Amino acid sequence: MSSYKLILTRRSIRQFKPDPISRDILKKLVNSARLAPSGANLQPLEFVAIDDEELRNRLFSCLRWAAYIIPEGNPKAGCEPTAYVVILVNLDIRKSGYERDVGAAVENMILTAWEKRIGSCWIANADTNRIQKMLKIPENYKVDSVLALGYPDEKPRTEKMKDSVKYWKDNKGQLHVPKRRLDDVLHFNGL
């Protein structure tokens, strides 16, 4: 599938099949992240891949899912992610201005995962202090966000945005995600 088709078909996934993700795939995801653009090529990011079941369960309790549709947006029992990548910033390398690095790295992982038909949900709303302690991460690192991963057990669809950015589930459980139209966001040669 072309990169453009991957981008067009990718949606955040919050319901997963119980199938495990191989460590080889997790390595590929992190490898794609480490090769993302980095401001001044400082490369302040590091990653912790989580595939251990007990640790996954503990990490799951630190995450906040789909605020617009709580609790329907939370993964149901048995539909939790089967792996995570915790994104860390090494503060000895960069204390501020790393947000673009994080965005580029996570998007690389998301698209690499989707190419393998693995769904993902990038989560910034998390109890980072608990995660830091749980994973024994030193104080000179910041837990930025978490990428939840698993084979999808849902098929969200995009909708033309009308009055609200809020996503919703219909009476059949289908997730609908409003997106702005291209004509509303693209301007040539000035605004």
Structural domains in the chain plus CATH codes: 3-154 (3.40.109.10), 156-191 (2.20.180.10)
184 or 71: which leads in pLDDT: 184
Q: Is the pLDDT of residue 82 over 90?
A: yes
Tokens of 25: 């795939």
Lowest mean pLDDT, pick from 2-11, 69-78, 128-137: 69-78
Check if the beta carbon of residue 51 is closer than 8 Å to that of residue 95: no
pLDDT value of residue 11 = 95
| Average pLDDT for 4-20 | 96
The mean predicted confidence, pLDDT, of the chain is: 96
Q: What average pLDDT does range 173-188 have in this prediction?
A: 93
Q: Which residue has the tokens 């990038």?
A: 122
Nearest to 64 by CA among 77, 55, 73: 73
Length of the chain: 191
- Band (90; pLDDT cuts 50, 70, 90): very high
DSSP letter for 75, please.
P
Q: Does the pLDDT of residue 46 top 90, yes or no? A: yes
Whole-number Å distance between alpha carbons of 46 and 132? 13
Helix ranges, the chain (H):
3-9, 23-34, 53-60, 99-115, 128-134, 182-185
pTM: 0.95
Task: Check if the beta carbon of residue 176 is closer than 8 Å to that of residue 157.
Answer: yes
Rounded mean pLDDT of 21-37? 98
Please report which confidence band the pLDDT of residue 1 belongs to, taking 50, 70 and 90 as the band edges.
confident
- pLDDT confidence of 158, banded at 50, 70, 90? very high
pLDDT at 36: 98
